[in-house]
Amino acid sequence: MESLQALYQCRQIVAIGGGHGLGRVMASLGFMEEKLAGIVATTDDGGSTGRLREASGCIAWGDLRNCLSQLCSDSPNLARILFEYRFKHSGELSGHNLGNLIMLAMDQMCVRPLDAINLIRKMLQVGAHLIPMSEEPARLAAMLDGEKIVGETTIDALDKRPDKLMLLPDIKPTSEAVSVIEQADLIILGPGSFMTSILPSLLMNGISEAINNSNAMTVFVGNINPERTVVGKQSISDKLGWMEEMTGVYPGLLLWPEEYDLPEGVRCKIEQQPLSDPHQSGAHSREAMRKALDLLVKQHLFQ
């Protein structure tokens, strides 16, 4: 880590997203400890998370759990093994992830969901901050040809891109999420599912306004493999334009895998770097992403 001098100069780094993509970024930059914060989408309604949301009215815990697990992946211990355990052949518990149940239990014992997350961070010895995009439960919704479609899993299965996305109800971000954006030198969007991981946080005015008012360098990280949704068929130029149309946010720089041709029509600087993990198909290499982000910060932020 001694060679990553540019990243070490950052006062605060904020990564925004969800799912495995954000977890990969957090794991890549976990050495930054408290100077790294992840703002995590909480609108998932599938699998164990969806069942818990339906039963208790909680926020979605799955992406937060995934990020916590990836942040401590280099030091596996009993706590992490238990956190990732998924019940099998256990009646109503079948399919549930123990980590999700632990987070729900901690949430019910604490005043705020963020308090529960911070307690679990300490238990797992995770230094980086993880902040739910909101502590209010909400679902992702879409408008398509005048019809309202509700739920991430339903939206991901569409064969036509929606006209727009929204959150139901119209929730507010956590004050901590807005605060870390205001303090950030580097804001990272993606990689991951465009509609259901990256966009949900940006759909809240408090988040999008904080990004647009920030002097931080905003980097959008391209996917290694095209996602298997309707937006996976669209160019990155079209996706970024749609993001700006809905949220007002447009990155200052696109970090693009060198495995693909240079995209056209993008209205920001583009940097191509080797990003693929040679041992895990379709995944970003944590080491490569670290080096690429350090280079971008060195070249464009601390010249």
**What string of DSSP letters covers 45-107?**
-SHHHHHHHHHH-PPP-HHHHHHHHHHTTTS--HHHHHHT-B--S-GGGTT-BHHHHHHHHHH
| Span 12-29, pLDDT tens digits | 999 999 988 999 999 999
| Span 111-161, pLDDT tens digits | 999 999 999 999 888 999 999 999 999 999 999 999 999 999 999 999 999
Superfamily of domain 5-301: CofD-like domains (3.40.50.10680)
pLDDT band at 76 (very low <50, low <70, confident <90, very high): low
The pTM score is 0.95
Instruction: Identify the CA nearest to 267 among candidates 232, 235, 301.
Output: 235
Domain residue spans of the chain: 5-301
> CA–CA distance from 295 to each of 26, 51, 189, 270 (Å)?
17, 42, 17, 13
Residue 121 has, within 13 A of its CA and on its CB side, a CA count of 19
Q: What is the mean pLDDT of the chain?
A: 93
List, in order, residues 6 or more apart from 242 with CB less than 8 Å away.
Answer: 161, 234
Surface-to-core class of residue 3, CB atoms within 10 Å of its CB (0-12 exposed, 13-18 middle, 19+ buried): exposed
